[in-house]
Chain A
Amino acid sequence: DVQLVQSGAEVKQPGQSLKISCKTSGYSFSNYWIGWVRQLPGKGPEWMTVIYPGDSDTRYNPSFQGHVTISADKSNTTVYLQWSSLKASDSAIYFCARQRGYLSYFDSWGQGTLVTVSS
């Protein structure tokens, strides 16, 4: 079974850094794109970024480029999303999800990580 298991909820202050994770299993990690999706309360999801672990090719939604960084570790089949300086507006639920291609849909999802940024 394909599984994506995300790290737990985080509470941070503005300006702090954060790295959340998405541990995958049940399929060939190097051969599928993994993306991150943000969902604000009561809103539709927003695609943020995606990585192809096979060669670390990455793409970003221009709305998020420069504010987040995606990375992958093939040795432990895990994908990460990190911020160097959080803002209150980053408070949201973040999902990782497997993509069938760079321009494609999401066929398996993690359970979500709630990030709260507050002073």
Chain B
Amino acid sequence: EIVLTQSPDTLSLSPGERATLSCRASQSLNRNCLVWYQQKPGQAPRLIIFAISARAPGIPDRFSASGSGTDFTLTINRLEPEDFAVYYCQQCADSLTFGQGTKVEV
């Protein structure tokens, strides 16, 4: 099973700042199947990035992502109040596993 480790666990930032979230896989992903979700309290996760770097429909361009192999990054430029949430990465190269999440808080 591929284990995804996200860092940091919590990111304390202010609106307008940039958030950089990391997701590291325990082994190299042989398919470009790495995605990111946003989850707010009491809600289901929401797809924001698929195929490593493609924004899902309706996701603003302040969200960007990159990576390859075992290291992946989600960047949120100019944080808006609605961006404060928990972010999860998920791989689908070998079964389906999620990271433990990074909380972006004010």
Contact = CB atoms under 8 A, between A and B. Distances in A.
A58 to B, nearest CB: 14
B65 interface: no
B56 A110 contact: no
B44 A105 contact: no
Interface stretch (A23-31, A38-46, A74-82): A38-46
A17 interface: no
Task: Indicate the size class of the contact surface on chain B.
Answer: 20 to 34
B71 to A, nearest CB: 18
B92 interface: yes
Given A103-B33, A104-B33, A46 B98 contact: yes
Nearest to B50: A105
A110 B33 CA distance: 22
Contact of A47 (B35, B43, B56, B96): B96
A97 B45 CA distance: 10
Interface string B90-103: 10111111111100
A105 B46 contact: no
Interface in A74-119: 95, 97, 103-107, 109-112
Contacts of B90: 45, 105-106
Given A105-B50, A107-B47, 13 more contacts: A43-B100, A44-B88, A44-B101, A46-B98, A47-B95, A61-B95, A97-B44, A103-B95, A105-B35, A105-B90, A105-B92, A106-B45, A110-B44
